[in-house]
Structure 1
Amino acid sequence: MPSYQTNSPARVCGNRNIRAALPPTGRLAGLLIGLTALTAPAIAVAQAETEEVVLDTVVLVTSASSIATSIQDAPASITVIDQSDIQAKGARDLKDVLRTVPGLNLTRGNDGNSQVSFRGLSSSRTLTLIDGKRISSRNTFARHYQGDLQIVPLDAIERIEVVRGPMSTLYGSDAMGGVINIITKKATDTWSGSLTTDFAFADENSTADSRSVTGFISGPLGQNLNLSAWGKLAEIEAPDEPYGYSSSASPLYTSNGTRTKTLGARLTWIPQEGMEWGAEAQASVDNYLGNPGEHDSNEVTKKSFGLTNEWQLGQGHLSSYLRHETSGNETWNSTSGAWNDPIDYDTTTLESRYTSQTSLTGRQLDYTIGGLVAHEKLNDPQTTSNALIEGSVNTAALYAEARLQATEALSLTTGLRMDHHERFGTHVTPRIYANYDFGNGLMLKGGYSQAFVAPDLRNLNPNYQMGSRGNGCKPYQGPCTIIGNPDLQPETSDNFEIGLNYQGERSSWEVTAFYNDVENMISARRTNDVAANGNPIFVRDNFDYGKTAGVEFGLDYDITNDLTWITSGTYIAKSEFKYGDFDTAYPMATTPKWNITTGLTWQANDRLNLSGEVTYVGKQAGYVVEEGLVVGSGEQASVPAGQNSKAYYLVNVAAAYDLNDMATLNVGIDNLFNDQPETDVSYRENGRLFTLGITTRF
């Protein structure tokens, strides 16, 4: 939703915040003890302060709750990346800044594309939103999709709200791991804008040069009528040696270059105080480039249209939108020299929610009630069996959330969502969360929630076939052929988190523990049948369970008024799934056991900002190396594709120089020492990359 009612005055908040959570279960009790021991000195220091800390800047967020609230008061683990963070890093895309988010993993998969995952869960459990509305372009791909994070140009972004942990109560299916909500800039009453030109030059043949021009403009068209518009032209060349090359000297995926064109506009009309209407349209074309000298491999088109309404009704606020999105994915047929019939995916969504507040036993109660209806339609003629996979599904939901200020220090948030799926009937998702304010900037957070993921239209179709070189075949070694299963059941999970968060005048930190218990995990089961190409056939199935657990942490410390130290990290203590009679537990996702980013930002003078960061990508969590056994003997060992067997480091440095009040020059070097995972790992990071860009504002 574009906006929500503002909660009671926020206590504490900062530019970067990281919230936390811990699993109160038997085997994980040690994590809670360790967390207490780790934070006890900080508690003592915070409690010893004589005055409550109040920061000058208060950032209100809406992604973690239906009610706008400060980051520290939000009933979830949340990080905010605002426009100043993006500018300071000279970021060229969102992935450049997401590495600093605790609990988030960003590495290249075995198809050469980097994906975002949370807390040891797969990237398919991450939901991307734009202004609170889900986007579904990824559904035109069975795999190899290069992400939703390039849809909105950086110039048009006000901030990114990253919520770690399940948010199914507010957002429904696919929000099991976390949510990335891209908040765009609002219309302004005076004409203003920005234009950014970026170049990147590679000195390694596995990484390609790139260039882009992005822009944003906003201003009035007439009385109470404003326009916002944005655009992007960008190209990442196909590398001489695709990222997907492994020790076998053959590419796992041969296209990693892209050519992007995006144009969007929004009209905002305020006919009277307390009412706002909006109309928005966006269109983009992404061409996935083949190897040098070869034809483009894919052409992906995305179009969306939307109407929004914000209406202040007395003390409450009604927010509604109607949105239609259509996406298409054409693949090039080198034999016929023409495009194949496209994969099409259309979604239409109508959602409305009402937020207000009242008093309960003399205490403030903020509440939200909402509902939505959605229609999704798939047409996929590009399966390995050459069968047309088509179908549609209707879904609807009713949800409610309430936040009670139980005492001066304790607030309780409860939520309940009832989803109705045309095929799977009604599913209820509860959530409960507590915030306890110790005062002086110290907050204890913890909660329990459930989440569910409904099988998609492809995996439910018995005629659907997809080939996999290994990652989809786990816990067996690939290659294999995967077919759909109409008897699949939704995947559900129980999720716990608990943690401490501190916001001070010069520092802020957080430490969080989490535990996710997934039931009916959707994967693929090996059969005794063999496909026409000789590969074993796997059928989509619900595995017994999957479990992840770990600790997130973050620190933002102003060493001096001009020098800031930022650190964030994730430790995955458990990442495993089991199926049937297997004795061995295998990792759920290609997630490193340790993932730590630390860096410094130095405001050298009024014009120059210098920054540098080091990211440690550890060995694969739950790494498995065993000899394979004969099929049918009970257990088949595997090393799932993408596992990294040895840690590596990524070092980035950057400088931002204000040429004047209206222009900033950005230079940098990504992966300064050109470090990579082991050669037997089936993905590659970007090699050394020199970046140059300039942003002008008016």
Structure 2
Amino acid sequence: MPSVRTISRPRHLPLTLLGALLPMLAIASEPVTLQNEVITATQTAHSELSAPASVSVVTRDDLDKLPVYNLADAVKYLPGVYISPSSTYGRKEIRLRGMDSDYTLLLVNGRRINSREALVSNYANDFDLSSIPMAAIERIEVIRGPMSSLYGADAIGGVVNVILCKPTADTRAGIAYGYEHPTEGDSGDSHKTSGYISGALIEDKLLGNLIVEGTDQAAWGSDQTTSPLIDAAEKRQNASAYGSLSWLLDERQSIDLDLSYREDDRKGTWSNSGFAFPTNVQEMERSAFGLTHNGSWDGFNSRVRYYYEDVDLMDDSEVMTDLRGGRFSNVNQTNHTVDGQVTAFLGNHLLTLGSELRRTELSHSNNLGSEIEIDQQALYLQDELSLGQLDITLGARWDDHESYGTEFSPRAYGVYNLSDSWVIKGGVGKSFKAPSIAQSDPTYVEIACRGYCVTVGNEDLKPETATSYELGTFYQNDRLQAGIMFFQTDIEDMISTETTRLIRVNGQIVAADPVLTTYNQPHVRIKGYELQGNYLLSDRIGLRANYTYSDARDRDTDEPIRNSPQHIANLGADWQALPKLGLNLDYQYTGSQYLYDVARSGAFETGAFHTLSLGARYQATKQLTLNGGLNNLTNEKRDEVAQAVDNILMGRTLFVGFAYDI
């Protein structure tokens, strides 16, 4: 394993933040209303207060305040969330409660989006984060903590569920445009354009919508990079279209059809360990199709759906094609999913019963063997019941993986209602994550380490399993939200990477030294707490704050997990300065963490950094909205440790835009 310098355990940021939040409980006594409806935690409707999980919701209004180019931008100020530039060149990933992005399950309308098998982990999940047109989003629900009892593998850290806009009965249309300009460095300008139309094709019978979006972002150069020849952020050109039809069969039934298509092209000059500067070109095409039948019957609701996703990736990185004799990589991943669900009341029990069948097919030019096909199936049951002031949610899911056998994921959660506005909540759950094909197939070979090594799958890997606990309290009314949540996750057999000397398959050498492969890290523990509070000082001024402490460590060696800061804090203020003018200010603190340096073969501590952003929104007319502002207002830079591995923070950036709705 690579060496890690001993880390001193920093003191926690002041717990007086909690003292600033919880005394506010005495301020307000109005009963809670169903604010920011959440469905991801149970697949039934709850408020953030009553949901049996740690939840946050990003609304459409929140998305319109600042320039948002992908899911990472949309959720970066939420508690428990860390947006890590896990790979350089401006790519991002969503980490929840100190865990890697592989443990964050991404859903669209409750269905997983997944190009995990097509992309090695060095690419983060940025292609998945960028796959959804931001103009099509109605809201985003973030569940922090394990949800394998409903969603199966990959949900150890939590779930990000994107709810897309539904077709409307009345006719609506609009266009929007946004422009960003870095005030220092070379180029980096970004243009984003979108448009939508929604309405009834047949009155009270057939509704439809169409949303299109395009982004053109130039490569950005910075004097902070290890060489002036490489890009701090790559060039991106994206185009996407999303359309849906809702056929209202009668008052009880509907059939929903949705189609989406996206092209995502990337180009950047990378650093091959400082002695070569290859051009990296990646072009991804993603298409998806979904068909759903929803029924509302006497005493129960039903849902049956089929979802298809096809991902094609062309990878023409010079550092890889040169070492492969000029061949570039072609990858195709296809996902087929059929699932069904029934929800019904049985006495005072709300029962949810569901099943899922999923097939993943992978064809990869890096695969030395044949095409790979994996089948999975699952059955889950959930029970929601009330015992006086205590609401209990019990759930369990049985998964059968073709390669790794069966896994059982139970979960129990309780919400005790101290009043209509104040609850104590907590629970325990088990979860799992099966190795990806790239991690486990020894015939899968990929060049990595900036050309220094190759990655090869390990057929002896075991699935990761985790047990998670959380306990806290939450208060919510029309003016105030405040809470604290303590959490701990114990992971067994966490999949990590290490350098080995040689890899053989059937007695034949398939890769030369050095080789980067995967192994099971026996015991890892992540523990910490989250503080959060929102308060409306008046009808015009609102304040927001949250703080997350997360300590992620190997329990056997006491070494910290890399790319996992212990401290993250966010402060924000929203001010309706004039009837038509709204202002918002956001501050984010990211604590020190460890980054791995390939050239020095070790992990090194990089210091904390701060960002400050200012935004303005002006309602010029009923149809026309103008917005603008500055990101990274103070032009903050990361330290030399981060810059040495080309983890560059974009400097002060101006943004302006407009939206015109008919």
Asked if these proteins are the same fold (TM beyond 0.5), I'd say: yes
Q: Sort the Cα spacing of 1:226 and 1:339 in 2 relative to 1 into closer, same or farther, 3 A.
A: farther
For this pair of structures, how many residues does the alignment match? 629
Does the 8 A contact of 1:331 with 1:339 survive in 2?
Answer: no
Q: State the AA in 1 paired with 2:117.
A: N
1:192 aligns with one of 157, 172, 192: 172
Question: Which one is further off, 533-542 or 556-565?
Answer: 533-542
1:236 aligns with 2:213: no
Aligned to 2:294: 310
1:646 aligns with 2:607: yes
Instruction: Give the secondary-structure state (helix, strand or coil) at the position aligned to 1:660.
Output: coil
Q: CA deviation at 1:280?
A: 1.2
Does the 8 A contact of 1:207 with 1:687 survive in 2?
Answer: no
Structure 1 residues 12-36: Cα deviation after superposition (integer angstroms, max 9, x where no partner): xxxxxxxxxxxxxxxxxx99xx98x
Q: Sort the Cα spacing of 1:321 and 1:126 in 2 relative to 1 into closer, same or farther, 3 A.
A: same
Aligned to 1:669: 630
Does the 8 A contact of 2:366 with 2:445 survive in 1?
Answer: no
1:320 aligns with 2:304: yes
Q: Sort the Cα spacing of 1:294 and 1:228 in 2 relative to 1 into closer, same or farther, 3 A.
A: farther
Instruction: Give the secondary-structure state (helix, strand or coil) at the position aligned to 1:517.
Output: strand
Does the 8 A contact of 1:417 with 1:430 survive in 2?
Answer: yes
Distance 1:694 1:40 in 2: 40
- Counterparts of 1:607-646 in structure 2, within 5 Å, are 607-620=580-593, 639-640=602-603, 644-646=605-607
Q: Sort the Cα spacing of 1:41 and 1:460 in 2 relative to 1 into closer, same or farther, 3 A.
A: closer
2:71 aligns with one of 91, 94, 99: 94
Aligned to 1:8: none
1:282 aligns with 2:290: no
Instruction: Give the secondary-structure state (helix, strand or coil) at the position aligned to 1:96.
Output: helix
Aligned to 2:6: none
Question: Which one is further off, 188-197 or 143-152?
Answer: 143-152
1:220 aligns with 2:200: yes
Does the 8 A contact of 1:77 with 1:163 survive in 2?
Answer: yes
Distance 1:652 1:47 in 2: 32
Q: CA deviation at 1:563?
A: 0.8
Aligned to 1:345: 333
Gaps of 5+ in 1: 1-29, 471-477, 629-637
1:263 aligns with 2:227: no
Aligned to 2:506: none
Distance 2:144 2:186 in 1: 32
Q: Sort the Cα spacing of 1:74 and 1:249 in 2 relative to 1 into closer, same or farther, 3 A.
A: same
Does the 8 A contact of 2:21 with 2:533 survive in 1?
Answer: no
Distance 1:340 1:420 in 2: 35
Q: Sort the Cα spacing of 1:339 and 1:316 in 2 relative to 1 into closer, same or farther, 3 A.
A: farther
Aligned to 1:133: 111
Instruction: Give the secondary-structure state (helix, strand or coil) at the position aligned to 1:89.
Output: coil
Does the 8 A contact of 1:333 with 1:339 survive in 2?
Answer: no
Q: Sort the Cα spacing of 1:455 and 1:206 in 2 relative to 1 into closer, same or farther, 3 A.
A: farther
Instruction: Give the secondary-structure state (helix, strand or coil) at the position aligned to 1:170.
Output: helix
Q: Sort the Cα spacing of 1:485 and 1:230 in 2 relative to 1 into closer, same or farther, 3 A.
A: same
Does the 8 A contact of 1:247 with 1:679 survive in 2?
Answer: no
Aligned to 2:651: 687
2:518 aligns with one of 523, 537, 540: 540
Q: CA deviation at 1:538?
A: 3.7
Q: Sort the Cα spacing of 1:255 and 1:594 in 2 relative to 1 into closer, same or farther, 3 A.
A: closer
Distance 1:395 1:38 in 2: 45
- Counterparts of 1:114-193 in structure 2, within 5 Å, are 114-142=92-120, 143-144=122-123, 145-193=125-173
Q: CA deviation at 1:104?
A: 0.6
2:51 aligns with one of 67, 74, 77: 74
Distance 2:66 2:220 in 1: 25
Q: CA deviation at 1:62?
A: 0.8
- Counterparts of 1:180-579 in structure 2, within 5 Å, are 180-205=160-185, 208-223=188-203, 224-241=205-222, 246-247=225-226, 256-291=234-269, 297-332=281-316, 340-359=328-347, 364-382=348-366, 387=368, 390-407=371-388, 409-469=389-449, 480-529=453-502, 535-572=513-550, 574-577=551-554
Q: State the AA in 1 paired with 2:248.
A: I
Distance 1:367 1:533 in 2: 52
1:105 aligns with 2:82: yes
Q: CA deviation at 1:481?
A: 3.5
Q: CA deviation at 1:60?
A: 2.1
Instruction: Give the secondary-structure state (helix, strand or coil) at the position aligned to 2:162.
Output: strand
Instruction: Give the secondary-structure state (helix, strand or coil) at the position aligned to 2:440.
Output: coil
Structure 1 residues 540-585: Cα deviation after superposition (integer angstroms, max 9, x where no partner): 221111111111111101122211111122111x211256xxxx43
Q: CA deviation at 1:204?
A: 2.3
Q: Sort the Cα spacing of 1:691 and 1:425 in 2 relative to 1 into closer, same or farther, 3 A.
A: same
Q: State the AA in 1 paired with 2:307.
A: R
Q: CA deviation at 1:46?
A: 4.0
Does the 8 A contact of 1:173 with 1:452 survive in 2?
Answer: yes
Q: State the AA in 2 paired with 1:305.
A: F
Question: Which one is further off, 289-298 or 430-439?
Answer: 289-298
Q: State the AA in 1 paired with 2:648.
A: R
Instruction: Give the secondary-structure state (helix, strand or coil) at the position aligned to 1:147.
Output: helix
Distance 2:25 2:118 in 1: 50
Q: CA deviation at 1:247?
A: 4.4
Distance 1:319 1:139 in 2: 28
Question: Which one is further off, 142-151 or 501-510?
Answer: 142-151
Distance 2:164 2:27 in 1: 40
Does the 8 A contact of 1:173 with 1:454 survive in 2?
Answer: yes
1:603 aligns with 2:594: no
Q: State the AA in 2 paired with 1:298.
A: Q
Gaps of 5+ in 2: 1-10, 271-276, 504-508
Distance 1:48 1:207 in 2: 50
Does the 8 A contact of 2:30 with 2:478 survive in 1?
Answer: no
Does the 8 A contact of 1:604 with 1:610 survive in 2?
Answer: yes
Q: State the AA in 1 paired with 2:654.
A: F
Structure 1 residues 20-79: Cα deviation after superposition (integer angstroms, max 9, x where no partner): xxxxxxxxxx99xx98x9868977774797x55234x63321101121111211110000
Identity of aligned residues (%): 26
Does the 8 A contact of 2:384 with 2:393 survive in 1?
Answer: yes
Q: Sort the Cα spacing of 1:255 and 1:692 in 2 relative to 1 into closer, same or farther, 3 A.
A: closer
Distance 1:453 1:512 in 2: 24
Question: Which one is further off, 459-468 or 683-692?
Answer: 459-468
Q: Sort the Cα spacing of 1:368 and 1:164 in 2 relative to 1 into closer, same or farther, 3 A.
A: same
Q: Sort the Cα spacing of 1:138 and 1:460 in 2 relative to 1 into closer, same or farther, 3 A.
A: closer
Question: Which one is further off, 415-424 or 528-537?
Answer: 528-537
Q: State the AA in 1 paired with 2:650.
A: N
Q: CA deviation at 1:485?
A: 1.2
Instruction: Give the secondary-structure state (helix, strand or coil) at the position aligned to 2:61.
Output: helix
Does the 8 A contact of 2:446 with 2:456 survive in 1?
Answer: yes
Instruction: Give the secondary-structure state (helix, strand or coil) at the position aligned to 1:428.
Output: strand
Q: State the AA in 2 paired with 1:463.
A: T
2:563 aligns with one of 587, 590, 593: 590
Question: Which one is further off, 145-154 or 607-616?
Answer: 145-154
TM-score, normalised to structure 1, is 0.84
Q: State the AA in 2 paired with 1:490.
A: P
